[in-house]
Chain A
Amino acid sequence: MAKVLMKGNEAVAEAAIRSGCRHYFGYPITPQTEIAEYMAKRMPKVGGLCLQAESEISAINMVMGAASAGVRAMTSSSSPGISLKCEGISYIAGCDLPCLILNVQRGGPGLGGIQPAQSDYWQATKAMGHGDLHLIVLAPSSVQEMASLANKAFDLADKYRMPAMLLADGALGQMMEPVDLDGIKAPEAVCKPWATCGHDGKRKKNITNSLYINPDDLEKTVIERFARYETVKANEIMYEEYLTEDADIVVVAYGITARICRSAVAMARAQGVKVGLFRPITLWPYPYEALGRLADTASRFIVSELNMGQMIDDVKIAINCRRPVDFCGRTGGVLLTPEEILNAILGGKK
């Protein structure tokens, strides 16, 4: 199939279907409602289910039920709606269930606004629900990646039996770009011997559960889960570098902001400034080591985000505080311009 022109929201939805997802549970909220609309049109044609739940909380618990039965399931929302899903996500993590959760971020806190933001970074990477848990968090920066990383997220979720989140934003959700969906495919049958899909009296019953009466049992499951997290960290870190090899200044940005920073880096390079861009694609696990290596040669780092600087601490950890870390960001639904980032690159400390 040739390229088609898609919104980011549509690309995620189509990629999910092509990845074998036949169960979508959602509740409308701007700027991600196109996903539900697309699913409502497409799912019946592929024998799938698109269900508008009565609330975000219901939707995530429906995902838990579907994932328990071993099928690929997803939900999507935008920032305030994701907050509502946190409890269910914690239960899903506690049950060791794979699923895809998409956050098309908008400005916050509170009801905030409908314009693009990245202010749920802390929530996604550090505090998505109660308890000792992690999600795999992927940050696409183009409509093509909205599709390819949705596919990747399903694979990783199944592989490690844990929820995966696609952390996008309103701009990526709404903008239109050419997309090639040819490579987006469902895997051959995924073996899920733990699934609660009926045993016909032929095996012991499966139970998906996050409640443990005995504290020692609970501790054991958490420790086992954290051993699995270490495997994820060892195998699944993704990032992209642009002109970092000889860079004296390194801009660190993810998602839509990385696109804007790339333009700014090119502008600065045209003026002879040795600057590069480091783009984490997995926000959890975070590419600490790869970024840390850049501090051997670079003298200054600039974090750029659509929030008040939520990634700064991760960059400081990555480079072990060896270099100064500046910040260039906007928040509340205001987009950065390439010129603002260029000024931060040229201007030294703000």
Chain B
Amino acid sequence: MAMFKDVLETVRMIEKERLDIRTITMGISLLDCIDSSGAKSRQKIYEKITRLAENLVKEGERIENELGIPIVNKRISVTPIALIAGSSDDLNYVEYAKTLDAAAATVGINFIGGFSALVPKGFTKGDRILIDSIPEALATTNCVCSSVNLGSSKAGINMDAVKRLGEVIKETAYLTRDADSIGCAKFVAFANAVEDNPFMAGAFHGVGEAESVLNVGVSGPGVVKRALEKAQDASFGEMAEIIKKTAFKITRAGHLVGTTVAERLNVPFGILDLSLAPTPEIGDSVARILEEMGLEHCGTHGTTAALAMLNDAVKKGGIMASTSVGGFSGAFIPVSEDEGMIEAVECGALTFDKLEAMTSVCSVGIDMVAIPGDTPASTISGILADEAAIGVINNKTTGVRIIPVYGKDVGDTAEFGGLLGRAPIMPVNKNDCSVFVNRGGQIPAPIHSFKN
């Protein structure tokens, strides 16, 4: 039996510090659902998802109960739909999104990811149709999440995609204007997208993956913050050690949940993504961890260094704890989903430019940031290009999930509700970048030597 204090530590982590399994995400390959008839293909998709994931929610809840640790979300990721739908003659893929939505409703999950296209070096016919379908797909479905990979360290950045996605984000914002442009919260533009990420909105089931796998996303910013609170005078080395140990324990819990659920669903365990993913609840914030290290507010000078150390220590602890670590595994900094980030923005400590700098050292990118609704598409494309460049040059994943909130401006707040939280509208640079964005073509792949 684990020692007395170990048992109490686990109980305290769950009850007081919001330790939870953020998501169990079942990855399902849809490659065998390809059909020259769109209708037939969609029927196969619906049948396959509802068959394989029939017991996902039930088993998830059972294990949640037995282990006494909350599993917040049960989700599904599928093969990028552009690859599946491309062989049909359909000129619009919104129906595919509706099929995914229906399958998600049937099995009782809250998000399904994979309305996606991979275009780092160019478009196929299917990619183009899918990208054009994104705004309507996100506006007419509830659970569907979409993503596009527009660059990679091997291929460079597809600037045609960057340009088009700026427009797509604006269109999505307009079509979901009645709900603070929430459609944009379900779309991510990636560079170096990972194929086994269990977190939304960017989850999809890569073509290199098995038929069906069970991936797990663990969280626990509150646990890390609490551990640091107890070590007020710790040096950086000591802080890193504390974070590593905490990350280790969290990862082990996630590994247990993942392998157990996978076994009961009779699918292979895929990966465990140990990412510190905040929620809008008090005590579940990544910003507060950085502040615990000694920053007055997240966003002040020193924030990037603090985040870099946190991110690295989380990875080191997680990798020791599970052989199947994958996905992003680091720290997320979604503004609207993090109570500390929201406050930092509202008091002026955290700016858009600082966020961009922070994304060069952590898991993802500009995430859940609300900007004025009248921001031009070309400016959004400029933001996408900047983030993609950070990812491509530094061999890391970066993403942009940005919401130009229709009808709102700096000083207003967008309310998304639930885990998506609320976002103060942040100002963006008003200088024009449309000539740059309109050039089109490909930013060549970067050199992988002579790194300075």
To the question of whether A and B form a pair in one complex, the answer is: no
Interface residues of chain B, those whose CB is within 8 Å of chain A, are none
